Structure 1
């Protein structure tokens, strides 16, 4: 039987702005996204039956048709009339419901993997189009890198990302945040402080990580922080321990800090780990989904 294993990478947001709301309920955004080298491993095994089965090392995710991975496989099967089955194994490293696009990234990996496994010969652009049916973050997760995302998050403009020597400390407190609920609390007309994305893109271009870190901004942060003050606590621990800047990613609750040197990031990790076990030191990454080996 054919099989393939893929790396499915997480992302952080260096900014999030909400500009309005469409009639279908989707919010219009403008945000900078960056892939990081924290990844799940997705193993896809072809089966003779017509079933999609999912297994995982995590007990925090659904293993049925509610998982985006199932939806991705089902969408490919239906779109291209494929009557083979697959068993998909998800080795989870990316924290679940963390504002890091873990689920979207897993779905992106399934699209890329089945495209190869079943010789569909779809371009990345075609895969992105299919991915958009599953969620606004899926198209970005296919290619990764750094982008300015607009529209509902599907209009992607590639930009220069963080340099490899920037250390990223990621910390997810043990709580669940509903993206839907956070966005429902936001009214774009009431936002008084917004990120200056043009300036942030300029900072990335000039490799001015300090200016970038000091000016990153996420309009969703205040909403999530009001409900979960621990987010501010994590930010404070990072900035008090030599982070150039710290911010919540996505709708939360994950917080990341940018560091000039790895030693400082590792020291702060040791402090945070006493309280929050899902803490990682990572670098940025230019790729999204990647075939492993």
Structure 2
């Protein structure tokens, strides 16, 4: 049996870090939403009891470092599944970009294997398993738009933001999330107004959303990689309604409502940044089949 599963990327409309925890993680409060930029996974059941990862992207590991591999291994062990699976990952989401590509692949693997192996697990049960793999996996199991707290695994769903275009630009660098958090001084940064963002989304207030975007990690990533800040400035100059770095970077996104402005920003950025995408905001939850 063969199954195709979509794994959409996410952006952070607001990202605040409250404190460092005793377990080494940070307590966060952030608003995440899915966008129409997605990897595609093909899951094929194998008679042999093994997990196989196939990808033509040289940056995607094909062993236990891959989060989709970890998801398959965890669900196999947890539910005593004696069959194997081949997971072909067709990457569209840039790797190590702050867009949760690896986490979304893991979440898609959980959703897909739940169906392939007829496990009958609820989204909540899958999200709980996902939290053991990585902080963003729980959100990616659900998709949609949500407030994420704790280390990112506690999810509270909110309505989708108003429809708009999202233009993403990723410079040719990788950013270590661990390094960014290590260099963050949570007591000495300007914290975004997460409550105002929630209120604006719930009211469908596009202008309020644009004026409330904020990411406490920007300052740290900008100091480590000035080219990320340069992309943000260019995107503003080209006329995006709001511009923000997603996650720990290095991807920067801008949001606009009008097609003509989207094309202008997209074409302007293509001049000096190789990886540029223009996609719609999704914001709606995944449905378990």
Aligned 1:142-181 pairs, distance under 5 A: 142-164=141-163, 166-181=164-179
Q: Distance in 1 between matches of 2:5 and 2:93?
A: 14
Partner of 1:42: 41
Structure 2 equivalent of residue 227 of structure 1? 224
| 1:122 Cα offset (Å) | 0.4
From 182, 185, 192, give the equivalent of 1:184: 182
Q: Distance in 1 between matches of 2:179 and 2:197?
A: 28
**For 1:69-218, what aligned pairs fall within 5 Å after superposition?**
69-164=68-163, 166-191=164-189, 193-218=190-215
Give the structure-1-normalised TM-score. Answer: 0.95
Report the Cα distance in structure 2 between the residues aligned to 1:86 and 1:156, rounded to whole angstroms. 29
Give the match's secondary structure for 2:156.
Answer: strand
Deviation (angstroms), 1:285: 1.1
The Cα of 1:273 is off from its aligned counterpart by 1.4
User: Paired residue for 1:273?
Assistant: 270
Kindly provide the CA deviation profile for residues 184-232 of structure 1, in whole angstroms up to 9, marking residues without a partner as x.
11122222x1111111111112222223222211000000011111112
Deviation at 1:23, TM superposition (A): 1.0
Secondary structure at the aligned position of 1:270 is classed as helix
Cα distance between partner residues in 2 of 1:235 and 1:131: 32
Which SS does the other structure have where 1:94 is aligned? coil
Match of 1:241 in 2: 238
2:162–2:205 Cα contact (<8 Å) kept: no
Q: Would the aligned equivalents of 1:8 and 1:288 in 2 still touch at CA under 8 Å?
A: no
Q: Is the 8 A contact 1:37 1:285 kept in 2?
A: yes
Once the two structures are TM-superposed, the CA of residue 268 in structure 1 deviates from its matched residue by 1.1
Do the aligned partners of residues 95 and 290 (structure 1) sit closer, same or farther apart at CA in structure 2, a change above 3 Å counting?
A: farther
Q: Offset of 1:291 from its aligned partner?
A: 8.0
Equivalent runs, 1:8-27 vs 2, <5 Å: 8-27=7-26
| TM-score, with structure 2 as normaliser | 0.96
Cα deviation per residue 1:235-274 (whole Å; 9 max; x = unaligned)? 1121111211101000000000011212211211111112
User: How many equivalent residue pairs?
Assistant: 289
Q: State which drifts further: 102-111 or 212-221.
A: 212-221
Gaps of 5+ in 2: none
Alpha-carbon distance in structure 1 between the residues aligned to 2:6 and 2:284: 10
Deviation at 1:90, TM superposition (A): 0.3
Gaps of 5+ in 1: none
RMSD (CA atoms): 1.4
